[in-house]
């Protein structure tokens, strides 16, 4: 069976566009595009057969289907030939049962989807494997792509640089100077990308890269390019797959540029349309209070106005004018959605509290965990709910955040779980007293 997918306007304008065409907005109305699959063709295979196929491929060795993204190739990007795919075995990340932390919150089933356990340390790899593979297919088909380019708060640039380097495609990264972690900055530099650090914020970088993408041969790699979302939607499918094809009750995800929100919904939508699931979870988007345009829209009957994002430890979601706002709102309306926010103290303390139960959370996961704590306190989330928190990046990318937290050096944060080394002389009795004290506490 030959499966097909095309770009279509999210506002419903007539017409469709090939996935191998460098187009990001509807030429009629200017709205974003989305990938539309031939669902009738996909329905010719029964739901149970799709489940079996995905399970047979999952984390196996037949190229490229062991990837948790390309193992669902027919649902993602069937137009790409296997020879063009750039894959680093993305997906297949741990769905961690946060038993101890869940018990502290009065939850029977709290799970954390560890998307940061990936090649570049963030969930961005799920989408970037698709985008760079399509670029390689375009080049093989005679397309003139001089470089792929993105604006980034850190993780997108790291993922783009790695996949572009593996695929031998030049990468251009535009970052807000001084507003990404040292680890995030080092990643694209190490992978050989051209890194441009601008004296502006992410929204300023995004405005420039959109203009740059109008230049011939510069291909846009941000999430307003819906190819990225096709890879990211597989996290929904994988979560359900890891629960033996059962749907959780609540999914909580941090939100910045908000492409991840619509991607999450797209995965659940596709499983519903093709009969793999019969119900939908409730989606919660968590934002930092310093960068909360979606939260403000939610509180104002979904009327959105861009804001100037302020400084936050959750730097990857420091975005005041998210490109995918319309897609996100549309998704949340379908999924009985909630938007919650977290202050700097709330996100830092939530991350640290969960760390003390065995995790090692990035600040953005801290935002999601803080939202969970607040919703549980208000009894919006109940003890019997199966809850999944999506951890978007690895905590090792944010060691300065961790260090400053425990040294009580973070602005606007009163640390409740600070823990520093006990400095002692090389004296056995002093060590024994310290051990006794720790054991008694």
pTM across the whole model: 0.94
Closest CA to 373 of 105, 116, 153: 105
* H or E element, residue 259: helix 259-273
Confirm if 389 and 110 have CB atoms less than 8 A apart: yes
Both tokens of 17, joined, read: 């566009």
Identify the three-state secondary structure at position 252: strand
Report the length, in residues, of the chain.
441
Q: 371-397: buried (b, 16+ CB within 10 Å) or exposed (e) per residue?
A: bbbbbbeeeebeeebbbbbbbbbbbeb
Per the listing, tokens 């490229």 go with 64
359: which 2 tokens?
Answer: 């995790």
What CATH number does domain 95-121+229-406 carry, 2.160.10.10, 3.40.50.10320, 3.40.50.1100, 3.40.50.11540?
A: 3.40.50.1100
| β 218-220/338-342 pair status | unpaired
Tens of pLDDT, residue by residue over 198-247, are 999 988 999 999 999 988 899 999 888 999 999 999 999 999 999 999 99
> Judging by beta carbons within 10 Å of its beta carbon (0-12, 13-18, 19+), is residue 432 exposed, middle or buried?
exposed
Distance, CA of 185 to CA of 31 (rounded, Å): 32
Domain extents in the chain:
95-121+229-406
What string of pLDDT tens digits covers the 441 residues of the chain? 689 999 999 999 999 999 999 999 999 999 999 999 999 999 999 999 999 999 999 999 999 999 999 999 999 999 899 999 999 999 999 999 999 999 999 999 999 999 999 999 999 999 999 999 999 999 999 999 999 999 988 899 999 999 999 999 999 999 999 888 888 899 999 999 999 999 999 889 999 999 999 888 999 998 889 999 999 999 999 999 999 999 999 999 999 999 999 999 999 999 999 999 999 999 999 999 999 999 999 999 999 999 999 999 999 899 999 999 999 999 999 999 999 999 999 999 999 999 999 999 999 999 999 999 999 999 999 999 999 999 999 999 999 999 999 999 999 999 999 999 999 999 999 999 999 998 887
Helix residue spans in 92-176 (DSSP H): 99-105, 124-140, 155-166
């Amino acid at each position: 069976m030959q499966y097909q997918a095309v770009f279509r306007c999210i506002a419903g304008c007539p017409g469709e566009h090939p996935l191998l065409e460098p187009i990001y907005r509807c030429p009629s109305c200017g709205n974003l595009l989305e990938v539309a699959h031939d669902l009738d063709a996909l329905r010719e295979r029964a739901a149970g057969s799709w489940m079996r196929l995905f399970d047979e491929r999952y984390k196996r060795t037949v190229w490229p289907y062991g990837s948790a993204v390309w193992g669902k190739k027919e649902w993602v990007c069937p137009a790409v030939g296997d020879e063009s795919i750039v894959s680093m075995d993305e997906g297949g990340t741990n769905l961690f049962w946060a038993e101890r932390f869940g018990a502290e919150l009065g939850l029977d089933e709290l799970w954390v989807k560890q998307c940061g356990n990936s090649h570049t340390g963030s969930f961005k790899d799920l989408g970037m494997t698709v985008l760079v593979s399509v670029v390689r297919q375009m080049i093989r088909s005679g397309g003139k792509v001089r470089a792929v380019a993105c604006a980034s708060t850190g993780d997108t640039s790291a993922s783009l640089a790695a996949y572009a380097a593996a695929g031998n495609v030049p990468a251009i990264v535009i970052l807000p100077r001084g507003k990404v972690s040292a680890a995030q900055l080092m990643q694209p530099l190490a992978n050989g990308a051209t890194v441009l650090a601008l004296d502006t914020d992410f929204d300023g970088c995004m405005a420039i890269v959109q203009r740059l993408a109008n230049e011939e041969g510069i291909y846009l790699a941000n999430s307003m390019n819906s190819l990225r979302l096709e890879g990211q939607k597989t996290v929904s499918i994988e979560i359900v797959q890891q629960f033996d094809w059962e749907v959780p009750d609540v999914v909580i995800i941090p939100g910045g540029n908000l492409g991840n929100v619509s991607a999450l919904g797209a995965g659940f939508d596709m499983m519903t349309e093709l009969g793999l699931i019969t119900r939908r979870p409730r989606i919660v988007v968590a934002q930092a209070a310093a960068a909360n345009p979606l939260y403000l829209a939610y509180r104002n009957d979904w009327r959105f106005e861009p804001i100037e994002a302020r400084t936050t430890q959750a730097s990857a979601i420091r975005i005041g004018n998210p490109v995918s706002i319309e897609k996100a709102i549309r998704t949340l309306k379908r999924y009985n959605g909630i938007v919650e926010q977290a202050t700097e103290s709330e996100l830092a303390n939530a991350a640290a509290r969960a760390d003390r139960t065995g995790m090692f959370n990035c600040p953005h996961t801290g935002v999601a965990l803080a939202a969970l704590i607040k919703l549980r306190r208000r009894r919006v989330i109940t003890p019997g709910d199966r809850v999944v928190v999506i951890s978007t990046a690895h905590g090792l990318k944010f060691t300065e955040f961790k260090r400053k937290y425990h040294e009580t050096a973070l602005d606007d944060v009163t640390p409740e779980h600070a823990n520093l080394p006990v400095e002692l002389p090389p004296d056995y009795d002093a060590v024994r007293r310290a051990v006794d004290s720790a054991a008694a506490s």
